[in-house]
Amino acid sequence: MRIHSSVRTLVLSFFVLALSAVSFAQVSIAIRIGPPPIPVYTQPACPADGYIWTPGYWAYDNDYNDYYWVPGTWILAPQPGFLWTPGWWGWGGDAFIFHQGYWGPRVGFYGGINYGFGYFGDGFEGGRWDHDHFYYNRSVTNVNVTNVTNVYNTTVINRNETRVSYNGGNGGLNARPTPEQEQIEHERHLPPVAAQTQHVQTARTNPELRASTNHGKPPIAATAKPNEFRGEGVVPAKEAGGEYKGAPHGENNVPKPPAHAKDLPAHEKQAAPNTGNPKQDAKYQQQQDKLYAKQEQDHQKMAQKQEQEHQKMVKQNANEQKQQQMEAKHQQQTQQMEQHHAAQTQQMQQHQQPSHAEPQKH
């Protein structure tokens, strides 16, 4: 296997970005290109009492190197008194990092992003809890009073008209968390519930929701209930929130290093040794074959282990954050293994240079 320094640099750079990590409610993946603007769509009616609106957002799929839209949907609160703080993309200095959303008694910072329907960049104006009942503000949420009677009307002035979907970086929002929001960040939280995780996975597998396909105008912008992508409760986007630019020329047009051991190509066998000493050449060839077999065995073992961990996550119905952390770990494992293999190969090549060969006996 011959790995040039430029390829190794590319692999390392990719994994440094992909493995950027922070505390809970942050981090999943990191990339160079910000997500498309938030599309324009209407909110489906609240299906029943106790459901909280979770706005749609752009997630990122490493397998396709593309953003995909996770439709907004109504989610049954995990417990009375809990509200949803949406996830958000923020510039981390050298890449965009996704900060995972969470449930808690108060709504925290979500990048100043205007997700609509009460999430206008700061706090939540779509409703409030009163003991064990949630009361919906009909001025900003779609509630049918025949199904839901806990309602009120308070006019909300939305001064945040931008549809930019990320904080910081080129063209991003400049909002910063207040001291209170920083305090909320450290309060007791719950991660996305199982219904939300399933909802995201369904969106991820739908090619129509990828930004490169819908150009910022997803055909399924919102749903009345999670994971129900067909039927009367499905709402398409009216229009894209702004111009869809995709990845700038050359920015993401580089080969993407494999994220899992199963995706690694077979190692390239080295050229047959030719030191001028047949006995020495046979010895070196044996060493090469042994190293090649060992490295391929490493691939297989790691691929099996990663697949077992993936299946375990599926059985446990793990949330999006845990799955993304697992993917990041697999990427790191794969990259470290390939770096180790490259070092082994380079060391062998140096050892087998003609200058190191034993002199021919006459």
pLDDT digits (tens, 9 = 90+) for 243-264: 887 654 334 434 456 678 887 7
Which tens digits make up the pLDDT trace of 10-32? 333 333 333 333 333 344 455 87
| Average confidence score pLDDT of the chain | 83
pLDDT bucket at 353, cuts 50 / 70 / 90: low
At 31-73, the pLDDT tens digits run 878 999 999 999 999 999 999 999 999 999 988 889 999 999 9
Provide the pLDDT for residue 362.
43
Q: What is the pLDDT of residues 166-184, one digit of tens each?
A: 999 889 999 999 999 999 9
Residues 44 and 107 in one domain: yes
What's the predicted TM-score (pTM) here? Answer: 0.64
Same domain, 178 and 304: no
Tell me if 264 sits within 8 A of 338, measured CB to CB. Answer: yes
DSSP reduced 3-state for 57? strand
Please tell me whether residues 43 and 100 are part of one structural domain. Answer: yes
Q: Is residue 3 part of a domain?
A: no
Residue of 38, 191, 214 lying closest to 117 (CA atoms): 38
In the chain, the number of structural domains is 2
In a domain, residue 24? The reply is: no
Residues 121 and 201 in one domain: yes
Residue 268 CB burial class (10 angstroms; 0-12, 13-18, ≥19)? exposed
Based on the domain organization, do 341 and 202 belong to the same domain? no
Final residue in a domain of this structure, among 171, 204, 223: 223
Residue 265 and residue 190 share a domain:
no
In-domain check, residue 26? no
> Residue 8's pLDDT is what?
38
64 with 171, same domain: the answer is: yes
Predicted local distance difference test score (pLDDT) of residue 354: 55
Least confident of 83-92, 176-185, 334-343: 334-343
Residue 3 reports pLDDT greater than 90: no
> Does residue 242 form part of some domain?
no
State phi, psi for 98 to the nearest 5 degrees.
-90, 130
| Domain of residue 326, residue span | 261-356
pLDDT of residue 11: 38
Residue 115: CB atoms within 10 Å: 23
